[in-house]
Amino acid sequence: MTIPRHLAVIMDGNGRWAARRRRPRIIGHRAGARAVNLCIDFCLERGIAALTLFAFSSENWGRPEEEVGALMKLFLNALEREVVELHRRGVRVRFIGERGRFGAQIRERMQAAEAQTAGNTRLALNIAASYGGRQDIAAAARSLAHDVAEGRIQPDDIDEALFASRVALADLPPPDLFIRTGGDTRISNFLLWQLAYTELWFTDTLWPELDAATLSLALDDFARRERRFGLTGDQVADLETSA
């Protein structure tokens, strides 16, 4: 069975999970934190090499102050509690997104988590926090523009490969499989550049209710798909036999 090398996940539905229980949204976020561990365990068990989780979008800063504040507390707690265990299990943790928008404590914890786990190789875990796909692409364009302005490259040097080297997660293969929980079928400004040829999979399951069976369904579905990358089915079959 073909296993995705890189899995990207939009963890959605925490608020609705809480609303169904007539509880405040933050209770849903807390319940969602458990599902994060489940998802990481699943990747470790199945030998998935990289996992990118959308934890907080650029746009999520616009939520009510109370919810944003509670999420920041939750985030800080998770950084304090989980990193030791992640390190023990051989997980390398990295963060993508506009880090400068977080408070000093969170930024320090992010930095410490990255430094502590930098040598781990079992699973590359990327947390997208204050992340937006458009902002990622804009930052790449900006860095290339600086290189041109300072004479390090010429405008005509800019091609897909060079551009790809400036967006987030440039050192990883792009996601093979994308999963979104919570029932909505949209990308919501997640990895726009990186998802160009990713297989998309959606489930109505709310993030706090995620279980290994649901993730298995996604993997089974992925394994059955023919990824053609613009070629014909026959060409793909030929490439597979020659590989």
Known catalytic residues?
12, 60
CB of 181 to Mg ion, least distance (A): 9
Determine the size of the site formed for Mg ion (CB under 5 A). Answer: 1
Whole-angstrom Cα distance, residue 243 to residue 240? 5
Helices (H), the chain: 14-20, 25-46, 65-88, 104-117, 133-149, 160-164, 212-224, 233-242
Whole-angstrom Cα distance, residue 223 to residue 205? 21
Cβ-in-10-Å burial (0-12, 13-18, 19+) of 161 comes to exposed
* Contact region with ligand IPE (CB under 6 A), list: 51-59, 98-106, 140-148, 235-243: 51-59
Q: Which does 56 bind (CB under 5 to 8 A by kind): Mg ion, ligand IPE, none?
A: ligand IPE
Q: Applying CB under 6 A, which of residues 4, 7, 8, 15 lies at the interface with ligand IPE?
A: 15
8 Å CB contact between 4 and 175: yes
Q: Does 98 bind ligand IPE (CB under 6 A)?
A: no
Q: Applying CB under 5 A, which of residues 12, 33, 190, 218 lies at the interface with Mg ion?
A: 12
Q: Which residue is nearest to ligand IPE (CB)?
A: 15
Sheet strand arrangement including 91-96: 91-96, 123-131, 50-57, 6-10, 177-180, 199-202
Q: Does 42 bind ligand IPE (CB under 6 A)?
A: no
Q: Does 85 bind ligand IPE (CB under 6 A)?
A: no
Q: How many CA atoms lie within 13 A of 14 on its CB side?
A: 21
Residue of 215, 194, 235 whose CA lies nearest to 48: 215
Query: Which of 25, 109 has the CB closer to ligand IPE?
Result: 25
> Beta partners for 74?
none
Q: Applying CB under 6 A, which of residues 4, 6, 7, 14 lies at the interface with ligand IPE?
A: 14
8 Å CB contact between 135 and 61: no
Residue 7, φ and ψ in degrees, nearest 5: -115, 130
Determine the size of the site formed for ligand IPE (CB under 6 A). Answer: 17
H/E run at residue 121: none
Q: Does 176 bind Mg ion (CB under 5 A)?
A: no
Q: Does 186 bind ligand IPE (CB under 6 A)?
A: yes
* Contact region with ligand IPE (CB under 6 A), list: 52-60, 138-146, 147-155, 232-240: 52-60
Whole-angstrom Cα distance, residue 10 to residue 58? 14
Q: Is 29 part of any known ligand binding site?
A: yes
Q: Applying CB under 6 A, which of residues 4, 6, 7, 12 lies at the interface with ligand IPE?
A: 12
Residue numbers of the site for ligand IPE (CB under 6 A)?
Answer: 10-16, 54-57, 60, 71, 182, 184, 186, 188
Residues in the annotated binding site: 12-17, 25, 29, 57-59, 61, 63, 180, 186-188, 199
Annotated binding site for Mg(2+): 12, 199
